[in-house]
Amino acid sequence: MSCRPWLPATLRSSLTWLLVLLLTHGLAQGTVTDDLGRDVTLDVPATRIVSMIPTHTEKVCAIGACDRLVGVDMFSNYPTEVQALPSLGSAFEADVEALVALDPDLVLTDEYSGLHDVLEPLGIAVYVGTPQTVAEVWEVTRDVATLLGLQDEAEALIRDAIARVDALSERVALGNAPSVFVELDPSPYSVGPQSYLGELLTLAGGANVVAAELGAFPLVDPEYIVAQDPDVLLLLDAPFGESADTVRARPGWRALSAVAEGAIIEFTQPQVDLLNRAGPRLPEALELLIDVLEEYRR
């Protein structure tokens, strides 16, 4: 017996339409789906917001709602005005009592912080999700803006940012890509091209010596780095004491051309924050990378 559809085609398509209609109606303004696939709904735009990770803090401020923040995590330090807000520990070790006492109507945090399990039973809306790629920066910005009722501001911000990224990439079009090793810490952990920082590096015209198949944040064998002999070393661990001197002292690293040429970039803590945080300052982060790689682009 041949397999016949259990419903006539016309009926099926009208049912599909009905379903779409129901779904879109359910997703009225104020509902977004977060990184754990949960729907977060607010009837009115959030006005008392707690941000537990720096990128969310920066996003809220970038769309012009800094004054709606009532508390932030201990790492949120940009823009400077948020430093005056109550500090609530970290997303993973939050001061829940102090957080609840602030009576927020929306908490923005990381998907692994577990805060939603604690706060939602208390009637506090929680949106989880840390952007991990360039595309996610814009997605999460749109989500947060929807919960704040600031969609137009977010679209303007994103348009402007994308235009700046396009303009910056014209600077990169000239010249050859220098090969680059990005050092997150002296283990040494690095970044693959599919990570946010890896994407930025590619946009900045750098050729990552770490290949995609190693993963987003691989621990890399030092002898491989020595053999790759990157043109430039980017030390994101410079604020923690790594430097051109400590790199030169590593076994075998004196032979690297980046060491011989002095092509070792020691980033400052504010620069590391800028590069690590997948947020609205993406064009600035990209410009910083393009600037430091400028002289090695031949």
Partner 1 sequence: MRTGSLAALGVVLLAALAVGSVAVAPGDVLGAIVRGLQGRVEQASDVIVWQVRAPRVLLAAVTGAALALAGSAYQAVFRNPLADPYLLGAASGAGFGAAVTIVYGASVTWLATLGVPTVAFVTALVTVSLAVLMARVGGTLPTVSLILAGVVLGSSLSAGTSFVMLADQERTAGVLAWLLGSFAFANWRDVLVLATILVLAIPAGLAARRAFDLMLVGEASAKQLGLPVERFKWLVVVIATLLTAAAVSVAGVIGFVGLVVPHAVRLAVGPEHRELIPLSILWGAAFLVLADLAARTVLAPAELPVGVVTSLVGGPFFLILLRRSRMRA
Binding to partner 1 by residue 114, rule CB under 8 A?
no
Between 45 and 54, name the residue whose CB sits nearer to partner 1: 54
Nearer to partner 1, 95 or 217 (CB): 217
- Supply the DSSP string of 164-184, one letter for each residue: HHHHHHHHHHSSPPPEEEEES
Q: Which DSSP state fits 249? A: T
**Contact stretch for partner 1 (CB under 8 A) within 3-11, 25-33, 164-172, 232-240:** 232-240
Nearest to 126 by CA among 162, 161, 94: 94
Q: Fill in the per-residue mask, 168 to 187: x = in contact with partner 1 (CB under 8 A), - = not in contact.
A: ----------------xxxx
Min dist. Cβ of residue 240 to partner 1 (A): 5
Least Cα distance to 58 among 291, 292, 288, 274 occurs for 274
Asked whether position 264 contacts partner 1 by CB under 8 A, the answer is no
Please provide residue 107's backbone torsions phi and psi, each rounded to the nearest 5 degrees: -120, 130
Residues 235-254 that bind partner 1 (CB under 8 A): 237, 239-241, 250-252
Measure the CA–CA gap between 68 and 143, rounded to whole angstroms. 16
First to last CA, the chain: 69
222 is an interface residue for partner 1 by CB under 8 A:
yes
* Token couple for 82: 């948020």
Q: Is residue 112 a contact residue for partner 1 (CB under 8 A)?
A: no
Binding site for partner 1 (CB under 8 A): 75, 90, 92-93, 184-189, 214-215, 217-224, 226-227, 237, 239-241, 250-252, 255, 269, 272, 276
